[in-house]
């Protein structure tokens, strides 16, 4: 499918880069962009794709949802709009391979929520984060009240959401909202280094690890340990496990085949 607001490029070894491209609106998420995002995510093959990188064009990652579209929504329409965004971001979170957010600029409202649906966030020093919805008379609508406390704790999440304040990349790093902060000109290199480090490992094992971590979100300790045990055991049914351990014992690099 040809997209109006998305740019998709494929790299080596199953690495896909997605750029949200509506710089005139700071990549604000409207229904069209959400529809394109959902179609794109649904099209990704778990065998052919190993890593997805998401970024934005221009000076924003995503500066929020499209206020011009939301301004006159009814309660029922607001419910549908929020449900759609939450559904798309959950699909991103549930992809069976790592998703990296390369946060190049403003990540506000829906943009911060999009970044939080990714597994890892690498931020440019110019990036800015926040959930400013209460200043518009609404609350975060794309699962921000769920994911932000998981990442930074309830106290900090409540402060950010209640005040609607915007924070810089260094503060986002301090509270655990992002994994690392780099100079703007080093963002691509930092993401590529992370991608290379992940690609060295067994793809099935990486995918199992992601599933295990995500499914552990709301389990108690006994359920969590049992879940890990099941995924751990499943690794031993893969050829990659045999290859990885034999390669280690023979002191040679492993040649994983994603099987």
pLDDT of residue 86: 97
With beta carbons less than 8 A apart as the criterion, state whether 84 and 34 touch: yes
At 224, which helix (H) or strand (E)?
helix 221-235
127-151 mean pLDDT:
97
pLDDT of residue 104: 98
pLDDT of residue 146: 96
**Rounded Cα–Cα distance for residues 27 and 60 (Å):** 7
**Rounded Cα–Cα distance for residues 97 and 12 (Å):** 15
pLDDT of residue 47: 74
Tens-digit pLDDT profile for residues 32-57: 999 999 999 999 977 789 999 999 99
Tens-digit pLDDT profile for residues 143-153: 999 999 999 99
pLDDT of residue 84: 97
pLDDT of residue 10: 86
Q: Is 133 left (phi over 0), alpha (psi -120 to 50) or beta?
A: alpha
Among 75, 133, 185, 259, the active-site one is 133
pTM: 0.94
Confidence of residue 217 (pLDDT cuts 50, 70, 90): confident
Confidence of residue 22 (pLDDT cuts 50, 70, 90): very high
Q: DSSP character for 47?
A: T
**What CATH architecture is 6-199?**
Alpha-Beta Complex (3.90)
Confidence of residue 2 (pLDDT cuts 50, 70, 90): confident
DSSP strand pairing (15-20 vs 51-56): parallel
Among 113, 171, 215, 259, the active-site one is 113
User: Which residue stretches of 62-216 are H helix?
Assistant: 67-70, 75-93, 110-117, 144-152, 154-163, 169-175, 187-199, 203-215
User: How remote is the C-alpha of 58 from its chain's centroid?
Assistant: 19
**Mean per-residue pLDDT over the chain, rounded:** 95
pLDDT surpasses 90 at 3: yes
86-108 mean pLDDT:
97
% of the chain residues with pLDDT over 90: 93
Tens-digit pLDDT profile for residues 218-258: 888 999 999 999 999 999 999 999 999 999 999 999 999 98
At 120, which helix (H) or strand (E)?
strand 120-124
pLDDT of residue 45: 77
pLDDT of residue 175: 98
| Domain spans, the chain | 6-199, 203-249
Fold held by 203-249: Lyase 2-enoyl-coa Hydratase; Chain  A, domain 2 (1.10.12)
Q: Is 133 a catalytic residue?
A: yes
């Amino acid at each position: 499918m040809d997209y109006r607001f998305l740019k998709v490029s494929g790299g080596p070894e199953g690495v896909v880069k997605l750029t949200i491209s509506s710089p005139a609106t700071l990549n604000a998420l409207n229904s069209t962009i959400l529809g394109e995002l959902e179609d794109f995510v649904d099209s990704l093959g778990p065998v052919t794709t190993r890593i997805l990188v998401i970024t934005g064009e221009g000076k924003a990652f995503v500066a929020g949802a499209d206020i011009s579209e939301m301004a006159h929504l009814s309660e029922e329409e607001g419910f549908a709009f929020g449900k759609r965004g939450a559904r798309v971001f959950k699909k991103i979170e549930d992809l069976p391979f790592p998703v990296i957010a390369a946060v190049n600029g403003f990540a506000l409202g829906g943009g911060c929520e999009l970044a939080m649906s990714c597994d890892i966030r690498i931020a440019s020093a110019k990036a800015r984060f926040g959930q400013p919805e209460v200043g518009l008379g609404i609350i975060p609508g794309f699962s921000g009240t769920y994911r932000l406390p998981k990442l930074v704790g309830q106290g900090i999440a409540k402060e950010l959401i209640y005040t609607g304040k915007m924070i810089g990349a260094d503060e986002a790093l301090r509270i655990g909202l992002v994994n690392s902060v780099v100079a703007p000109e080093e963002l691509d290199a930092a993401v590529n280094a992370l991608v290379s480090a992940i690609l060295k490992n067994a793809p099935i094992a990486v995918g199992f690890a992601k599933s295990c971590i995500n499914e552990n979100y709301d389990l108690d300790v006994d359920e969590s340990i049992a879940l890990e045990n099941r995924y751990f055991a499943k690794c031993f049914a893969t050829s990659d496990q045999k290859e990885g351990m034999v390669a280690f014992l023979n002191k040679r690099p492993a040649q994983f085949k994603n099987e």
